[in-house]
Every structure is written in C-alpha cells, then in structure tokens.
Amino acid sequence: MTVLPVLYWPDPRLSQVSTRASVDDGTLTLARDMLDTMYAAQGRGLAAPQVAHLTRLFVMDATWKTGPHTPEIFINPEIIWRSDETATGPEGCLSIPGPITDVTRASAIILRWTTPEGAIAAQKLTGFRAICAQHEIDHLDGILTLDHLSPEARATAEAQVRP
C-alpha cells in the first residue's frame, strides 16, 4: 500500500491541463497508489494531478463509505454526452480542505475511457458517479471547484480553506 502526497490549492500544478496517459505498468501502479491515497484521505474520487502526475487518469469509489468497496480506474476519460438537465450540489475536494461549495453540473453523462486491461469502455453515469466523474475530469483540465464560483462565493470559499 502506497499513500502518495496530495497537492493542495493554490499549487499551480492543479491548474494545468494533463496529457494523455499510456496504458502500461507505470500507469496501473499509479492508479493503484491513487486508490490507496483516496481511501486514506477518506475520499471517493482522486485525479492524477492531485498527486502531482499531469496525466489523464482518475479513480473513484462511489460506494465504499456506506457499503462495499467498488474501486474504479478511468484512463483517458472523455465525456461524450451531457444531459441538458443539471443538478446543483455540495462538493468538497481533497486538494481544497475546508470549504464545501455548491457546483452545478450535468445530472447525467456518457463517459468513454480506457480500462486497466486496455479496452475501450463507455457507460452512462448518473447520480453521484456522474457528478464525481465531472469533478475529476475538471482536474484533468486544470479546473477546480473554486473556478465554478462567482467572485463573491469564491472569496468566501477561499477564506474557508484550512491552512
């Protein structure tokens, strides 16, 4: 088990756009270490830039806090469809400890990605998984929850960040 150091806002690496991941042993080891890191930090999603790897990869486990562990690894994820319907809900971020901010996102998406076995997968995500996937893909594009807020809401959230 390897727990990696998490980058915290305002680390400039969190605002960079990540490049495509290769499907190889290095990426798979990183993904497993990211899952260890996510569980250790009590999170349900983690993107590679949050552990200083600017590569298009995220991990998620939507159920482990209330039920069984369902670890998922998404390599080079792309959103290929977004619902017109949106949902606004509170989001935290392991890289921004403290504030919980309301973010509006599509309530359903179709995600396409490469699996750890190297296959192309596509699936419609709804509920928490849809919101979490959009949050993590934002990280791959250098976008944080703070970037979704009005200037006033952002100032309030920034003041709540724990040092």
Where on the chain is the footprint of Zn ion (CB under 5 A)?
A: 93
Q: Is 136 a catalytic residue?
A: yes
Least distance to Zn ion, CB of residue 135, Å: 6
Least distance to Zn ion, CB of residue 24, Å: 25
65 versus 122: smaller Cβ distance to Zn ion: 65
59 versus 93: smaller Cβ distance to Zn ion: 93
Q: Which of 117, 136, 152, 158 is catalytic?
A: 136
Least distance to Zn ion, CB of residue 151, Å: 20
Residues near 78 by beta carbon (within 8 Å), at least 6 away in sequence: 111, 112, 113
- Partnered with residue 89 across adjacent β-strands are 103
31 versus 93: smaller Cβ distance to Zn ion: 93
Q: Which long-range contacts (CB under 8 A, 24 or more apart) does 9-13 make?
A: 9/93, 9/95, 9/96, 9/144, 9/146, 9/161, 11/95, 13/49, 13/52, 13/54
Kind and range of the H or E run holding 160:
helix 151-160
Least distance to Zn ion, CB of residue 123, Å: 21
Burial tier of 110 (Cβ tally within 10 Å: 0-12, 13-18, 19+): middle
Which residue has the closest beta carbon to Zn ion? 93
Residues labelled catalytic: 136
